Amino acid sequence: MHRLPLPLFLVLVLLLPAAAPLRLPHASAASPDICIVGAGISGASTAFFLTNYTTSLAGPQLRIFERRHGVGGRLGTVSIAGDRFEAGGSIIHPRNLHARRFADLLGLAASTGGDDDWLGIWDGKTFVFQTLRPPPPGSSWWRRKLHGLLNSLLLFRRYGMSLLKMDRFVQEMLQRFMLFYNALESRPVFSTVEEMLKWTGLYRLTRRTLEEELRDAGLNSQTIAELVTVITRINYGQSTRISGLAGAVSLAGAESGLWAVEGGNWQLPAGLLKTSNATLHLQEGIDSIADAGDHYVLTSNTGNEYSCMVTVVATPLDEVNITFSPPISIPPRKMQHTHATFIRGLLNHGYFGLNSASDIPDLIGTLELPDIPFSCISVLKRYSEDDMTYKMFSRAKLDDGLLDQIFSTRKETIRINWAAYPHYEAPEEFAPILLDGKQLYYVNTFESAASAIETGAVAAENVARLIISRLALQQRGVEPHAPHIKTVAEEVGSGRRHVDL
């Protein structure tokens, strides 16, 4: 995701309140383990909150299973010309308080970009709008301030009061999202995503499209078709037909003050797993999860079996082959693939109808038109005027023939295909957090509301609290109340399609 130079209000610096430890029921040394499938930000955050919200995990062992060779999930970096660049989730909002707390606890430094991106909006033939070229490096404070003011005036001249209305829409969403950071004693433990969203007042944003919400907020058609579309294509690879909450999160990703972890955001889950003292099983994916009565049996692709009194699925179930016995029922969900292409070389100015490569903006956003093959192109680093590293996002793989049209020279090309986030369609339907009414949990169902580093952490914190509260009831001999999990037959009868896994 990239920052756009919008004239938005200052963001207040908020402190995340320290959480008082909760008590996990004591378990004997022979107790089965607590197992988490997936070592991305959701799985690592779940492990962190379980160990930090309890007084002891001395009984069960905490195990994390990751089918890849390293941790991080959809957070990762690529190396070009000796430099490392974010390949997955690349930005963190200043009000993402869990991520900020994680970085502080782990001693990770934050890097921030400038506020002077040179944006061009391209319609496939010409740039319909551009901000000003950034001032030269080392320019004085007043020159940079004047540059920002002039850019704000350019944006206002084209989009008018819609900018302020868009900002108000985003700020209202952020204010409601901040309720997830309230003190634990004032914040319920939620058993469904719907409960989480209704408690914050965000649920209604999942029922309609972003375009519908913004029209009701008073934005004009040009702003939605151009500026908003550019942002949603960059941040979620989708149009303004995405659901309203995902769209609002996407727009928040265009604010100022965004940051990342120096050296790569993947260090957040890596550090959390280390502090959680979990046993990490790399290159060991889980093939099946079977209910054995008072525990689950997890069978891995290496043929090993593990007994788990609690199992947390912290990876999207949409494109993994895990067999559940008995089967579970979840709504069908398609993942939106983002193809990230990194190129060291030089863009072809002729492809963009310009006279020189120096006339090409640093960040090229595109409109929702069928003939445009990519969502965006941005300059990551300049080595010289004819040698740069670029990052491109697209919905499909960009073959060499097309890249040779877009670039005049290519020294190095790296392609990554991410199943990056859900394909958002309003009204959104959510899979259960509690998949079987017992101790099988699903963190990534929250992604159907919005997908980001912070939403993974927010969902993980709730799952950790839900696990602790249900185990406490179980220890006292009280059967935890489980929400009704409908069968496939019931869902078909009600006109809703579900998928058995």
Contacts of residue 328, Cβ cutoff 8 Å, sequence gap at least 6: 435, 436, 440, 485, 500, 501
pLDDT attached to residue 297: 97
> In sequence order, what are the beta bridge partners of 110?
261
* Cα angle 41-47-48, degrees, rounded to a multiple of 5: 85
Domain count across the chain? 1
| Beta carbons within 10 angstroms of residue 107's beta carbon | 7
Could you list the residue range(s) of the whole structural domain that residue 322 is in? 1-78+93-115+147-328+423-501
Q: Is residue 379 part of a domain?
A: no
Tokens of 267: 């260090």
Q: Is residue 333 part of a domain?
A: no
What's the alpha-carbon Rg for the chain, to the nearest Å? Answer: 23
- Segment (H or E) for 65: strand 62-66
Say how far apart CA 130 and CA 128 lie, in whole Å.
7
pLDDT attached to residue 494: 38
Say how far apart CA 37 and CA 423 lie, in whole Å.
22
pLDDT attached to residue 114: 58
pLDDT attached to residue 22: 45
Contacts of residue 476, Cβ cutoff 8 Å, sequence gap at least 6: none
447 CA to centre of own chain: 8
Contact status, residue 75 vs residue 453, Cβ threshold 8 Å: yes
Tokens of 330: 């979840």
Which string of b and e fits 446-470 if b means at least 16 CB within 10 Å? bbbbbbbbbbbbbbbbbbbbbbbeb
State the burial class of residue 156 (Cβ atoms within 10 Å of its Cβ: 0-12, 13-18, 19+).
Answer: middle
Tokens of 464: 């950790």
| Beta carbons within 10 angstroms of residue 329's beta carbon | 20
Q: Is residue 14 part of a domain?
A: yes
Contact status, residue 403 vs residue 341, Cβ threshold 8 Å: yes
CATH at residue 279: 3.50.50.60
Q: Is residue 390 part of a domain?
A: no
Q: Is residue 277 part of a domain?
A: yes
Please name the residue that has the structure tokens 């994390």: 64
216 CA to centre of own chain: 26
pLDDT attached to residue 45: 98
Q: Is residue 414 part of a domain?
A: no
> What is the chain's pLDDT, residue by residue, as a tens digit (501 residues)?
444 443 332 232 233 344 444 444 444 334 589 999 999 999 999 999 999 997 645 567 899 999 999 999 999 999 998 899 999 888 999 999 999 999 999 999 998 875 568 999 999 999 999 999 999 888 999 999 999 999 999 999 999 999 999 999 999 999 999 999 999 999 999 999 999 999 999 999 999 999 999 999 999 999 999 999 999 999 999 999 999 999 999 999 888 889 999 999 999 999 999 999 899 999 999 999 999 999 999 999 999 999 999 999 999 999 999 999 999 999 999 999 999 999 999 999 999 999 999 999 999 999 999 999 999 999 999 999 999 999 999 999 999 999 999 999 999 999 999 999 999 999 999 999 999 999 999 999 999 999 999 999 999 999 999 999 999 888 777 766 544 333 222 332 333 333 334
Contacts of residue 244, Cβ cutoff 8 Å, sequence gap at least 6: 204, 205, 206, 207, 208, 209, 210, 212, 213, 426
83 CA to centre of own chain: 24
Q: What single DSSP character describes residue 209?
A: B
- pTM greater than the 0.75 cutoff: yes
* Count of CA atoms in the C-beta half-sphere (13 A) of 62: 24
Contact status, residue 101 vs residue 16, Cβ threshold 8 Å: yes
Say how far apart CA 436 and CA 454 lie, in whole Å.
26
Say how far apart CA 404 and CA 417 lie, in whole Å.
20
Q: Is residue 121 part of a domain?
A: no
Q: Is residue 166 part of a domain?
A: yes
Say how far apart CA 3 and CA 363 lie, in whole Å.
9
Please name the residue that has the structure tokens 């070592």: 39
pLDDT, tens digit, 9 for 90 and up, residues 156-199: 999 999 999 999 999 999 999 999 999 999 999 999 999 999 99
Strands 286-291 and 127-130, how do they pair?
Answer: unpaired
Contact status, residue 237 vs residue 420, Cβ threshold 8 Å: yes
- In sequence order, what E strands does 5-144 have? 33-37, 62-66, 77-80, 83-86, 110-112, 119-122, 127-130
